[in-house]
Structure 1
Amino acid sequence: MSWRDRLTPLRMQRIGLVALEERLSDVLRTLARAGLVELDLPYTPGPFGKGRDEAELERALASAVRSGPLAGFAGWTPAQHLPVLQEAMAAQGAAVVPLQRPRGKAPPTLFTPRDSASAARSLVDTYGTVPYEDVDPSRLTAIAYVVMFGMMFGDVGHGLILVLAGLLMRSGKIRILAGVRKMWSFVAGAGAAAVAFGFLYGEAFGPTGVVPVLWLEPLSNPVPLLLTAIAVGGALLAIAYAIGTVNRVREGGWAQALYSRAGLAGSLLFAALGLLAWGIIAGSAPLTVSGAFTGGAALVLIFLGLFAAAGGGPEGAVEASIEVVDAVVRLGSNLVSFARLAAFGLTHAALGAVVWDGTTALWGPDLRAAGAVLLFVLGNAVSFALEALVAGVQALRLEYYELFSRIFQSEGRPFLEWAPVLSSREEDSAVRLNAGIRSGRQVN
């Protein structure tokens, strides 16, 4: 599978399944075992199991389209699975034929078994299903998440605890963590990012001096940290706008992408903001003029797109004007939202400093040493739990509201495999073929 294919859902093929009516029950049993087929049914199938599968079969049989001695269904299957499906159905005397995609009907979204089971996929799926035409941003957004988390949770000691927790999740030895085992790489990655920023900040269970400061001390240099946070936000927004532009082109062509606030026009407006800031800071008139010109062109494009969407006329002009102002205000507020990366990084550093200062103040040659150790352990435990929760939630908030809102403008629908567990009178090749597909050896 090429890298381009890995960035998009599996290519779907519209199919028609035709069989003799008297053989339809056996055909559907084989179809269920072959798997990776979504049938067009007048109801939502499932849930399967618990004695409901035979009833599901009868319900599907009653929903078949009939013409004389023939009966059939329309549906979807991954294009690469079509030859396997045709072979399995031919053994039952049925035919599977490729059909043209209906106009205005979006195929369902399905990813490879490996992608579907990844922690990065879970991050995107909690927001919504990736539309079939869109680029899948799960890998990039996973990297963005751990970087943002690490910036807010920068501490070598706390990060190593997260890495250890991730490795314990992977081992499966702790039963209570078995349900979230697939998230181990996410937790370990967030911990590794926290370790990296901990070295940059010189933090290891607070400002203990165990590790040197490789970049800056957050509490002593809040302004550079704040500017860096906004710069990181600008870079992430630029990537989000780029992916959003690609998605708008894939969804509706260049015409849609050109006028969309989450497409080329929005990207130009964001670039204009960067040029203006650069020109003002550097004192460069050409950069400032270029930024102003680019921003003006972007606003015109956005206005025209909104004006057309509103139906034109005076009311459309008023509505479009309000939306343009809103777009400008939101762009600035979205960028400033990334200042929370610095704010919560400072909070984490401040809590660590309080715990460490209290520990050193309490330390003494008598029982005060035990109290100091207890304060250090409990203080770090509270700081770890509180800040891990806050950093995790805030990074998720930035992903959802600042990045995903530009990448996606609609939501897809997940692939609903028709796969009741049905008994069969004889084994067929579909079972063996499907075993390879489900394990990810053929769909990769």
Structure 2
Amino acid sequence: MEQCIICGTLLRENETVCPQCGFVTGLSFLSEKQYESWLREAVEPYRREYGQKRDRLLAEQQQKHQQEMEALQQEYQNKMEELQRKQKEDIEKLEREQQQRLAEELQRQKEEILHDRDEKSSAAEIQEKPLNKSEEISAERKKKWWIPFAGVLVAVVVVGGITVAMNLNKATGDLTSIQGRDLLEETSSTKEEQSSTTEEMSGTVSWAVSEDGKTLTFSGTGSIDQDLVDTIHAMEMVETIVIENGISEIGFSAFYNCESLESITLPDSLQSIGDRAFFNCKNLKEIALPDSLQKIGNATFHNCERLERIVLPNSLLTIEYSAFGYCESLKSIILPDGLQHIGSGVFYNCTNLEKVMLPDSLQSIGNSSFSYCSRLETITFDGELPEIGDSAFYYVTATVHYPSSWKTVPASDAYGGNLTWVPQD
């Protein structure tokens, strides 16, 4: 087989025009000197022009890619700042309300003390014998010496009681952490036979680490949040996570940056997975999502670069922004019937993704959803053409199969890619 002298593309037998750059290569009728002269006068300028054009296109693509990444990062940063601002406002509001309730309670106690004092003073004046003016003043002073001290004492008791109540939750959380540390120290120091698990409680969720430190099991009911996971000191060793039935939510950034994690088992009771829950879990290889799940949040599996296989449930309705961005080992994915929305950048830079099947329930595909999926070869639409965002297939060269019932078909360069649209029965 011959190569194109311009771009290096391999040519089939008897092929005289390069399918890549369009250059005419079959000039066997020329003599050797004529061929060399032709190379100098025709080929070299064409080769330089082609190289300049290629370099320019690559530079433009790289610049656009960088701009898109900066826009995505800015959008994410804005969302995080908005969330932090809202949390700060909620905390300040709670503190103001708490201070107001404390002031009202102190005022009420003060009024009760003054009222009791007035009633006792009136009763004593009725029963006592009449005194002269100087004796009356002296007696009145003796009767009132205890009032300032009583007011101070009651105020101290009230403030102390309310302060204890305000700090009760904080003390409970500190006690939980202390119990976890004490249990680990007791396990390492004792010579007697111990259980093969270490347990910690947070609300109604408990966790247990196996003796070798590689398997982490959650049980109970409620939510697994980042604060709970942060108390588990051996997270850098955990390779397998098992979440038992009863857990309904995995919170924001719960397992963020757990780089040793390889597999996770999720329960049928799980209803929600928060944003960035498995962000940067670089060694996570496979995961099966339960049928109870309806939404995958922002950047949930972002940069899980070894994720090869994921099973999506039929209950899934929405996949949000960059949920599988930079999952470079993901080769194929079947999107379930019932899925309605694919957010922006969901499969951005999944460089090994080869095949995608889009269900007939799909209503929208966000901007840059499949951008830079450079090995994507086959895209199949089962239903009507959904709303597709800008650059959804940027830098993608693929064959797109669509129902023959479509009345209009997008252009080959639509959505930033090089797409070949093929109807199917």
Which of the five TM-score ranges fits, normalised by the shorter chain?
A: under 0.3
TM-score norm. by structure 2 comes to 0.22
Is the strand fraction higher in 1 or 2?
Answer: 2
TM-score norm. by structure 1 comes to 0.21
Greater relative contact order, per chain length (Cα 8 Å cut-off, separation 6+): 1
